[in-house]
Amino acid sequence: MSKRTALITGASRGIGRACAQALSLAGYRVALAARSIDRLQELANEIQNAGGETFVMELDLANREMITDALSKAMKEVGRIDVLVNNAGVTKDGLAVRMKPADWDTVLQTNLSGAFFVTQQVLPGMMRERWGRIVNISSVVGEMGNPGQANYVASKAALIGLTKSLAQELGSRNITVNAVAPGFIETDMTHGLTAELKQRMLDQTPLRRMGTPQDIAGAVKFLVSDDASFITGHVLDVNGGIYM
């Protein structure tokens, strides 16, 4: 069997980077997508030096035309995409009463619409092959809510709904669609939080530690593997017990 190709969005750092490394080590060719091409190239060099195969693509998920063009180019280069990890996400936090329309739109366009349009581009190839794996990276706040993040929470909750709908639509083609909902993870996104807020989150987490990007990558690697071939429409919580 030829090597399968996995596309990871938001691959330049954090969870996306860890997913790319884990899937490369598991034998996948990895297509790396993000806005920062320099960071992607660093990761690509690292993966290639370890014997892996990569393809790098600049991708801004808020730009629908760019999604179409980039995916078209990528599939000409690597053939179809067998595995899609919709990981890219942004935050523009603020209280609902003062949230700017642009901050609402940017987060929904990137986190939700962007994930949908990337998925739409890879589906024809998966459907033809009657095989595919899609994993959407949601968030624990998409399940439990969080003040000051109405836009982000709405986008991540909607990803769960999208996951379940696509799982029902695509199951007959042997394409599984699942979500991973990370809890409090040590990434650039959480790095800027105050010590007080971090401590409060840790106090609410039964395992009493922050998760790592590798914790999430392990869950993703499982869901795209043959071991998970009878799992679809599922939300896998990787959150240290902060929400059950």
Q: Which two tokens stand for residue 3?
A: 């090597």
What is the phi/psi pair of residue 147, to 5°?
-65, 145
Give the tokens for residue 219: 């869950």
Answer yes or no: 243 catalytic: no
Catalytic residue among 152, 159, 183, 220: 152
Specify whether the CB–CB gap between 12 and 40 falls below 8 A.
Answer: yes
Q: How far apart are CA 128 and CA 26, in angstroms?
A: 24
DSSP assignment of 55-114 equals EEEE--TT-HHHHHHHHHHHHHHH----EEEE-------B-GGG--HHHHHHHHIIIIIH
Catalytic residues: 152
